[in-house]
Structures are given as structure tokens and as C-alpha cells.
Structure 1
């Protein structure tokens, strides 16, 4: 393999599935959990956590208790919403 082969592969998109945002979880994401912190974000801004089926409710409840949960939607393609895993 030449140096050019290595450099060419650096910008290649990853085929690996997006992972759950729950600490320590390596499962593929099935849901997008859309949220914002009203103390620091404008009302229309949406941050995104990704969740596997096992952790979707735990992550949503964490945000719900803090008044930050906006919506939970299926994750079926690369998302165009802002802030993956923020």
C-alpha cells in the first residue's frame, strides 16, 4: 500500500453504523432523540442523541425530567438535524 492509498482512504465515508449515545453502549442507533436546553438554546434549535432500542426510553426520560425532551423519531438514515451526540 502506498502513501497515496492511505491518504485517499482518510476522507472516505465510514460504513460503520451510527452508535447509541448511552455511555458505554456500542449498539447501532434506532432512534433520534431531539432535545434542547431552553436556558441556552433558541426554541427552534434541536440537538440530537442517538439511541438503540434498549436505551431509547432511558435517554428520553433523562431529558424529559429536565424539561429538555422535544421528540423521539426513528433513525433510519443519516440525519440532517443538528448536533449528533451532543
Structure 2
């Protein structure tokens, strides 16, 4: 794991992420698969709505709580 602060996934945003948005596209992914986007406080609602309207959003978890659940952490290049 790296010591770098997690960065929000919103286009052009360089703020520190404090939320993990877990999602999957049922047309592409198995039901248990979870991809992740990271969100700062400002972009949490916007990114959640974007995923929610499409039926992709599965969970929104505080970054700290997600790290406790998944020690490898969210946001690997393959999951963004």
C-alpha cells in the first residue's frame, strides 16, 4: 500500500477522497464484483447520482471504513 493520499475520481478533481463508491455494471460484471470510484466530499453526491441513475451503485462507504474491510484498498488502476 502506498502512503499517497487517495484522490477523488471526479474529472479534473485533485482533492483528497474520503468516500468509496462501490459499483458494478450488471451487463459486464458478475454480481459479486465491485469496482470502486473515490470521492471527495464535494463530488460524493454527483458521482453517486451518476452511478445510481444507471443502477450501478451498490454501496457508499467512508474511505477509512473501506480500508479496514479491504486492506489492499480501493481504487487500483484496474478498478477505476
Give the TM bin, normalised by the shorter chain. 0.7 to 0.9
Structure 1 or 2, whichever has the larger Rg, is: 1
**CA distance in structure 1 between the partners assigned to 2:55 and 2:73 by the alignment:** 19
Which consecutive residues of structure 2, in runs of 5 or more, have no partner in the other structure?
Answer: none
Which consecutive residues of structure 1, in runs of 5 or more, have no partner in the other structure?
Answer: 1-12
**CA distance in structure 1 between the partners assigned to 2:3 and 2:73 by the alignment:** 20
| TM-score in terms of structure 1 length | 0.76
- Per-residue deviation, residues 50-82 of structure 1 (Å, max 9, x unmatched): 000000010000000111000000002773378
| TM-score in terms of structure 2 length | 0.81
2:16 counterpart of 1:28: yes
Deviating 4+ runs (over 6 angstroms): none
Q: How many residues align?
A: 74
- Per-residue deviation, residues 10-36 of structure 1 (Å, max 9, x unmatched): xxx643201000010000010000000
C-alpha RMSD of the superposition: 2.1
